[in-house]
Amino acid sequence: METYDFDVVILGGGPAGFSAALYSARGAASTAIIDVSMLGGQPSNYLELENYPGMKKIGGFDLMEKFEEHADMFGVQKFPMQEIESVDLVSNPKVITTKEGIFKAKSVIIATGAKPMKLGVKGELEYIGRGVSYCAVCDGSFYQDKVVAVVGGGNSAVEEAMYLTKFASKVYIIHRRDELRADKIIQERAFKNDKIEFVWDSVVEEICGEDLVSYIVIKNVKTNDVTNLKTDGVFPYIGMLPNVDNINGQIKQDARGFILTDETMKTSLDGVYAVGDVRNTPLRQVITAASDGAIGAVYATKYVQAQKEVAV
């Protein structure tokens, strides 16, 4: 098995990871990106983005290709499709072991992202990108004058439902209880919004349609009544989960597992930084992930430089 030595190893090849890689390699640190799947991260699956500054409209895949090409320009080494066996962030150097190699790093930047919790119902996976979306900010404008259903009762569901009323003619909020979890102030705003209709005590049982979503099957959990609700889009907002397998327990995380950092993106461990959706952050967008990556890499490379100076 091959052993590699890098100044900075970045876990995760999405916008946060590629931005970090660009700043790290351009800062003269030898840099590698390791990903468990193809490079590009979550945006690779977005049909279009129209909120990345400078790009009026660009396919998610195309944008991430540009991120990758930019990192290539500075000699970032890329290791996609790695099956990770262990991540030791405590040792010095830090060691990431995959099925294919041992990666030693003076500094590690965690950019592994987060995944939306899935409803786990029939039709959900089949209709992703064809009516099912986990990102109102990314996809809301595709639902101009259409009907959409948001699932969940937390702050994300209610805030995103309000955001969707900018475009949609009607927004259902389908919640499994008769009381929202969202903050009172957010609830009050939603109750005042004429475009929002609440469907209480209900869960989605199936997402249906032809080529695109056209209706969902919902069940009232109190009466057990099952009905079809016409909708063009479904936005499940039932929580996000960080991708922290192999990392859990080594650094400080919040109750849901998101990594806690300071303003330099440093985690509770020296030389370990966390950037993008995997960290405890108030906004999860390509632009914020890229921004985190830049900050984290600048401080990671400063850390690496200091380590090198101590060594001589």
Phi, psi of 184 (to 5 degrees): -55, -45
State both tokens at 229.
């609700």
Q: Which residue's CB is nearer to ligand NAP, number 229 or number 240?
A: 240
Q: Which residue's CB is nearer to ligand NAP, number 222 or number 308?
A: 222
**Amino acid symbol at 201:** D
Closest distance between ligand NAP and the C-beta of residue 234, in Å?
A: 12
- Whether 208 is catalytic is no
From 5, 35, 72, 138, active-site residue: 138
Which runs of consecutive H residues, i.e. helices, occur in the chain? 15-26, 60-73, 136-139, 155-164, 184-192, 286-311
Closest distance between ligand NAP and the C-beta of residue 163, in Å?
A: 11
Closest distance between ligand NAP and the C-beta of residue 155, in Å?
A: 4
Phi, psi of 273 (to 5 degrees): -120, 155
- End-to-end CA distance of the chain: give it in Å, rounded: 30
Q: Which residue's CB is nearer to ligand NAP, number 153 or number 271?
A: 153
SS3 88: strand
The rounded distance, in Å, linking the Cα atoms of 160 and 150 is 8
- Whether 139 is catalytic is yes
Strand partners, 155: none
From 7, 35, 62, 135, active-site residue: 135
Q: Which residue's CB is nearer to ligand NAP, number 102 or number 287?
A: 287
- Whether 138 is catalytic is yes
Q: Which residues of the chain form contacts with ligand NAP (CB under 6 A)?
A: 119, 151-157, 159, 176-177, 181, 203, 237-240
From 7, 139, 232, 292, active-site residue: 139
Length of the chain: 312
Closest distance between ligand NAP and the C-beta of residue 215, in Å?
A: 18
Cite the active site residues. Answer: 135, 138-139
